[in-house]
């Protein structure tokens, strides 16, 4: 199976879905390491699956460039063929991007190019859209500007708040992310 590293900052529900899919009989990918930029709750999914998990904190480095280099080194130690950002809430720097050209993907809780950034669900709700969803994209140096690989849409309900809408998006999102990762790692 193709080695995959997952980067997280949060609860890791997308990571959990990837781990579950990777454990099925003939999975085309294997999660070989999980890296967070903070004490993320989702790290527990990795440790309980016996997968190496580590934290590379921006605050532990003198500047962003040093952090970027350390993160690139940490990722490269696992020699992944694909890097998946699953709720990783920091912009990647050039060291990471240049080490894995075209092989870093991100999942985002809105229909890009609408509502990029850290608050996709909140921003879509505030705008008053009636349809939103999730996007899986290739990562480039911009904020959620990379090529779109997959999208899934759903209706916003009148009674939705940020939490309820995000929960429904995540159901679609994790299925789509698993499909994209399987697709990108399938032998051809």
Site size with ligand GAR, rule: CB under 6 A:
18
Of 177, 116, 169, the closest CA to residue 142 belongs to 116
Point out which span in 61-69, 101-109, 125-133, 154-162 binds ligand GAR (CB under 6 A): 101-109
Chain centroid offset of residue 45 CA = 15
Does position 87 interact with ligand GAR (CB under 6 A)? The reply is: yes
Residue 133 to residues 12, 74, 85, 119, 170: CA-CA distances in angstroms? Answer: 18, 32, 17, 13, 9
Return the residue of 2, 86, 136, 181 that touches ligand GAR, per CB under 6 A: 86
Rounded to the nearest whole angstrom, what is the least distance from the CB of residue 88 to ligand GAR in the complex?
Answer: 7
The rounded distance, in Å, linking the Cα atoms of 141 and 161 is: 31
Interaction with ligand GAR in 145-174: which residues (CB under 6 A)?
170, 173
Closest chain position to ligand GAR (CB): 87
Q: Is 106 annotated as a binding-site member?
A: yes
Annotated catalytic, 119? Answer: no
Does position 11 interact with ligand GAR (CB under 6 A)? The reply is: yes
Rounded to the nearest whole angstrom, what is the least distance from the CB of residue 60 to ligand GAR in the complex?
Answer: 22
Q: Which positions are catalytic?
A: 108
Question: Binding site residues, as ranges?
Answer: 12-14, 64, 89-92, 106
């Amino acid at each position: 199976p193709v080695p995959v590293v997952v980067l997280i900052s949060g609860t890791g529900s997308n990571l959990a879905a990837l781990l579950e899919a990777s454990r099925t009989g003939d999975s085309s990918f294997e999660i070989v390491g999980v890296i967070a930029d903070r004490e993320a709750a989702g790290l527990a999914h990795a440790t309980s699956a016996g997968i190496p998990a580590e934290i590379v904190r921006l605050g532990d480095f003198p500047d962003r460039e040093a952090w970027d280099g350390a993160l690139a080194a940490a990722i490269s130690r696992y020699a992944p063929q694909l890097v998946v950002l699953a709720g990783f809430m920091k912009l990647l720097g050039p060291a990471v991007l240049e080490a894995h050209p075209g092989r870093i993907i991100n999942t985002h809780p809105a229909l890009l190019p609408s509502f990029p950034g850290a608050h996709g669900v909140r921003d879509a709700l505030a705008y008053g859209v009636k349809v939103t969803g999730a996007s899986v994209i290739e990562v480039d140096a911009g904020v959620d500007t990379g090529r779109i690989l997959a999208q899934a849409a759903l209706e916003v309900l009148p009674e939705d708040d940020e939490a309820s809408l995000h929960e429904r998006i995540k159901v679609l999102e994790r299925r789509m992310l698993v499909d994209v990762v399987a697709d990108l790692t399938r032998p051809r």
